[in-house]
Amino acid sequence: MKDYRYSLIRNDLTRNKAVNVTLFVFLFISTLLMATGFLVIQRLSGSVDQIMDLANPPHFLQMHVGEFDRDRVEDFITDTGLVSKFQIQDMANIEGVNISYVRRDGTRGNLADSLLDNYFVKQNESFDYLLDLDNQLVELAPGEIGLPLIYAKRENVKPGDQVMIHQQEKTYTYTVRSIIRDAQMGSSLSSSIRFLLHPQDFEEIHRGALRQEALIEVRLSDEGDIAQFERMYTDEVHQMPQNGVAITYSLIKLVNTIGDGLMGGVIIIVGVILIIISLITMRFTVLSTLEMRCERLAC
């Protein structure tokens, strides 16, 4: 009986060889794509958790354009009793058209077509660190620059290449020392991006900036108090600097996950579509086979 069944299966596979091979290929590819998609998402989740732990992004940050009373902000943050660390990071905004580069082979380019806000900063001392590709804290010497990973990939700029900043009829030239990862602004969904400079170079660039911008950043003693602190900060009674966007830790993590996780999601969706196509094809194959056999048996 078993030999008879095996004979039927073998004959069916031989008779519909093209259809069966096509079904097998579709199922194999769809399964492979779905497994790859889940693997990408799993690794991404671990990678995001790792960089969040090492870079220590703020639990709450307020971007502000213009001058403000820093002592008043510090007094307010201290009085909340919720904050464990606090810092204000000054930034110099440079338009992409004023940022150019020269590769070691002599080819040139600029960031004129970039839609991102380009901020130049110095390394923070307490938290919200900028890391290199080995997840190590980036330390620069005067004349060196840390280039965001997004630009390094897009423009094919590598360590050793030159980056120039054109500001008020002056040109400042820096050597790319590190490609940096930014837990806060490194996502492909972020509208801003940070370059890293040595403190001495930063002060020179910052003095020539057309407008004053800063990040007011805090790390809380308890992450569960983020919503409470945000309500207190944005309350009009306290009149805190708010000329810019406010972002919380959960949003930073979400943007990092979604930005790079889209690829994994697309791969999974393609795999599901291929499985559906395979099942539909299999259904028509079965119906066609049954119809052929019914005709032979005069059903």
Residue 138's pLDDT is what? 94
Give the residue-averaged pLDDT of 235-263.
85
Pair of tokens at residue 78 = 């201290």
Residue 37 token pair: 């998609």
pLDDT tens per residue across span 206-248: 988 877 799 999 999 999 999 999 999 999 888 899 999 999 9
pLDDT of residue 260: 63
| pLDDT tens-place string over residues 129-181 | 999 999 999 999 999 999 999 999 999 999 999 999 998 889 999 999 999 99
Taking the C-alpha atoms of residue 182 and residue 263, their distance in angstroms, rounded to an integer, is 20
Evaluate whether 91 touches 214 at the Cβ level (below 8 Å): yes
Task: Pinpoint the alpha helices (H) of 192-248.
Answer: 199-207, 226-234
9 pLDDT above the threshold of 60 = no
Q: What is the mean pLDDT of residues 54-64?
A: 94
Entry pTM: 0.78
Task: Please state the domain extents for the chain.
Answer: 2-52+256-297
